[in-house]
Amino acid sequence: MEAITTPQTKNIYFARHGERNDWIDKTWMQTAQQRFDPPLSSYGFQQADELGVYIAKLQPRITHIYASPFLRTIQTALQVANQLNKNISSPNEITKIRLEPGYGEYFFPDVIWNENNIFRPLHQLPEISQNIEYFDQDYDSVIKADYYLQMKIETRQQLRDRLRRVLQCTLDAHTADCNILIVTHAATLIEGVRALVTISSEQNLEMVKRKEIEITRNQENNNLSTWDMSPIRAGVCSLTHFESMDGKWTLSKNGLTSYLSKGEQNVWMFTDDVSLYET
């Protein structure tokens, strides 16, 4: 009698940070030392808390949080971690935050990165020092902080290459325990979701090709699929969910915001992609 095997289920959630303070306080940038790294507004904290309440109810439970190292994403991830870790019985059960510059902000090519407009040095943030138990201090990020300073300017294709690389490393690190939340920004959420669809499509196509023919892949087969261009919703504190059943990723929820008291807010999209959303 053959043993019955349970299909392996994995989950990846992409969330955008909450409302930024500089959207509400138009004078904030005039005196800010880090003009490109604003904190959450008071309502942004509320949104992040509402997101955390929703995520804390999800099953299976989120086991790892990856967050962009900008202040607004750190603050959003902390609100979620506070909700997730409310009823744990042991420090070993804490869902921790891994700070990953690879999921950091995308600045358009007319912005030159420098020390004043990337995320601030993490050791200077009281949000981290005062909640150190919620951060994975052993995590070695895929993309290093100096990536931004070395790049100076990042094209959209380079953004896609960055996200594809970091997301593949995240997948490789969680072959067994994959119930992950990625807290990021609008542009990186959209292209990160598309990166996961693209990676999954290529892997599925490779499996089909291996079953059909056993030949060495030629140059034509190296580019197995084009970049996915799904119209991904990216409101603040929205949640986009992928589920994998036996290795095949499926988009389950796109830009969910039903748990937010004011619903979907501040939706963002690439101007070149507007027609995708209209259709």
**In the chain, how many H helices and how many E strands?**
10, 6
State which fold the 9-278 domain adopts.
Rossmann fold (3.40.50)
pLDDT value for 232 = 97
Q: Where are the domains of the chain?
A: 9-278
Question: Could you give the angle at the alpha carbon of 49 between the alpha carbons of 46 and 53, nearest 5°?
Answer: 140
Using one digit for the tens of pLDDT, what is the confidence trace for 90-138? 888 999 999 999 999 998 777 788 887 889 889 889 999 999 999 999 9
Please report the pLDDT score of residue 13 as a whole number.
98
This prediction's pTM: 0.91
Q: Which residues contact 229 (CB under 8 A, 6 or more apart)?
A: 194, 273, 276
Q: CB of 235 within 8 A of CB of 267?
A: yes
Q: Which parts of the chain have pLDDT scores under 70?
A: 1-8, 204-225, 279
CA distances from 275 to 12, 191, 197, 235 (A): 27, 16, 20, 18
DSSP class of residue 207 equals: H
By CB atoms closer than 10 A (0-12, 13-18, 19+), residue 4 is exposed
Check the CA dihedral 194-196-201-202 and report its sign: positive
Q: What is residue 223's predicted lDDT score, i.e. its pLDDT?
A: 46
Q: What is the predicted pLDDT for the residue at 225?
A: 58
**Any idea how long the chain is?**
279
